[in-house]
Chain A
């Protein structure tokens, strides 16, 4: 039998209905003569998003709240808080001599805190390195600003995995930097397989996401404001703190968002540059799904991740009420 036709029949029906609705709506909205209902153009998209964004999210919530047999449970969240929760229950069942093993497990919380800490460090480093870069780029005295933007974009178009692996070539014990050091008569240093290497990889990958929004908000700024400030007697530093910095705040906030969010969930960089010695929250989620095959716990972790991100986003929104930010490139 042809395997792919063994889709459950309700899926086929759903797909068919979906396509039929798609066509009908498209025809209907184009055909309408009185033109008021232009909003119908959005209906294919609405259907699409319901099917591929809302339903999947609901499924994650479903798995997070059920056990392997599909019965409702909160154990996945208990397991998040105390990573030994299920195992402790097993020990209790096995007998009193194993009670010594019962203790609270801090694996998940530990990894979450570590990820947040690394993401925070990465964001701060990106901000410290990126702000001056964006500021200098936006400087009108430097005429090559637009070329610089292009120069910053080009690396992002190369596969980020390959770029990260190239760092490995540089950092290894027998890599380029150490070979160079040794030929100069220095001792070789351990550069890879630690937190610093992971941080370096993260900063390297996310720095442009900090530079662009700040750059955009700085170039949007009205240069007359600066002139006015200086006419009124403010010195450079003063102008910067009182005029430039506040006006570039939306860019900074959107930069922070764009660096912090992906940093928390990276899962490739720690494995390559950190040698699997450290785990970030992304690794943990991936591990639960693809190595342990524990969808329920994995879904619970994903859900927690999502909620955390939504909370931090709304906090950042507060700081930037217009919500426009520097925007994307």
Chain B
């Protein structure tokens, strides 16, 4: 009985979270353009999706920025984490405050402060500025996922490697990196998803000329969202589901688990 209540409650909460997604996916198969009326099953929005220049361009911007920003943030953040970890108490505290600051700042303030920076220094807003902004808000997350792994690491391995004649760069690549790689990968994935989903910061740091999916959806939301966007999100949902299943399969395989 108690188990039933628990499961029922969880099912209700999940239903609440999934209702709009189900609606969205159903709409993508609706033959008509209307949001509320069902006018028959059709795949026309899927075929139109690939013809829609604006959406395809936005998809490209979103994905390329997510990939580049995630990689750049991972490199920058991993190096920073190694550096911060090796620092003495006081500089370390300063660095951590600086890392925590952008994470506690509301998105809208981050976005606006960067918009001011770019406008103030007369850098035209567009693809590059959006990329810079994404790297900026991603990096602290990478640092925070790498640092715990560094703390778990044996302090003396690195020094031992140096004593045995390894150069610092060699020791970095062959001793430290393998130890912290799970944290690095977590950071990379986190950065990628954050950048994929960001709306507020992109909204303030780009021009109307360069749109990612979020800003495109925002501008479309006013006129009534087009079913093609529903089709796109249904596809993305499917892709994520598949990806997740693969990851789960890998994770449940004990030989490959972290």
Contact = CB atoms under 8 A, between A and B. Distances in A.
A170 interface: yes
Contacts of A84: none
B21 A11 contact: no
A155 B21 contact: yes
B104 A161 contact: no
B217 A30 contact: no
Interface residues of B, number: 89
A45 interface: yes
Interface in A1-42: 3-4, 6-8, 11, 29-33, 35, 38-42
Contact of B221 (A8, A40, A165): A165
Contact of A309 (B106, B162, B169): B106
Contact of A45 (B139, B141, B196, B240): B139
Could you say which of A11, A29, A41, A54 has the most chain B C-beta atoms within 10 Å of its C-beta?
A: A41
A289 B14 CA distance: 38
Given A141-B3, A286-B108, A162 B24 contact: yes
Contacts of B162: 35
Contacts of A132: 9
Given A33-B168, A42-B80, A154-B240, A302 B136 contact: no
Interface stretch (B45-53, B63-71, B82-90): B82-90
Nearest to A162: B233
B225 interface: yes
Interface residues of A, number: 90
A41 B112 contact: no
A170 B95 contact: no
A289 B112 CA distance: 8
A207 interface: yes
Interface in B88-140: 91, 95, 98-99, 101-102, 104-109, 112-117, 120-124, 132-133, 135-136, 139
Contacts of B229: 162
Contacts of A156: 197
B124 A4 contact: yes
Given A44-B80, A56-B114, 12 more contacts: A11-B123, A35-B158, A38-B168, A42-B87, A45-B143, A53-B98, A60-B113, A136-B6, A155-B18, A158-B240, A169-B27, A170-B19
7 contacts: A33-B168, A38-B85, A48-B136, A53-B102, A161-B214, A166-B24, A306-B105
Interface of A: 3-4, 6-8, 11, 29-33, 35, 38-46, 48-49, 52-57, 59-60, 63, 129, 132-133, 136-137, 139, 141-142, 148, 150-152, 154-170, 172, 174-176, 179, 204, 207-208, 261-262, 264-265, 267-268, 272, 282, 285-286, 289, 295, 298-299, 302, 305-306, 309-310, 313, 328
